């Protein structure tokens, strides 16, 4: 006959409380992210990337020659 007066173990409730806390925190973060979305930094990222590449082109490091000097 099972003992019905035995105390319940606390760990299942602790695990359930942690899971409930994690789910509610995740839903809160999702609500904040939906309510306050980050605006894009630029409207046309492709054009901004091309302009950046053109500005950085003069700073490019020249490639090393493929052949060794003739004197060696």
Summarize pLDDT for 15-42 with one digit per residue, the tens. 999 999 999 999 999 999 999 998 878 7
As a whole number, the mean pLDDT across the chain is 84
Evaluate whether residue 62 is within a structural domain.
Answer: no
Evaluate whether residue 26 is within a structural domain.
Answer: yes
Evaluate whether residue 63 is within a structural domain.
Answer: no
How many domains in the chain? Answer: 1
| 4-23 exposure pattern, b = at least 16 Cβ within 10 A, e = fewer | eeeeeeeeeeeeeeeeeeee
Average pLDDT of the residues in 4-18: 83
Evaluate whether residue 22 is within a structural domain.
Answer: yes
pTM to 2 decimals? 0.47
SS3 7: coil
Evaluate whether residue 50 is within a structural domain.
Answer: yes
Distance CA 63, CA 22 (A): 53
Evaluate whether residue 67 is within a structural domain.
Answer: no
Whether the pLDDT of residue 71 is over 80: the answer is no
Q: What is the pLDDT of residue 27?
A: 99
Evaluate whether residue 47 is within a structural domain.
Answer: yes
Q: Is the sign of the CA dihedral 22, 26, 27, 32 positive or negative?
A: positive
């Amino acid at each position: 006959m099972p003992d019905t007066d035995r105390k319940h173990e606390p760990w299942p409730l602790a695990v359930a409380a942690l899971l409930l806390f994690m789910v509610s925190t995740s839903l809160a973060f999702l609500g904040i992210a939906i309510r306050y979305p980050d605006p894009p930094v630029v409207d046309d990222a492709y054009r901004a990337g091309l302009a950046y590449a053109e500005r950085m082109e003069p700073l490019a490091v020249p490639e090393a020659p493929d052949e060794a000097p003739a004197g060696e």
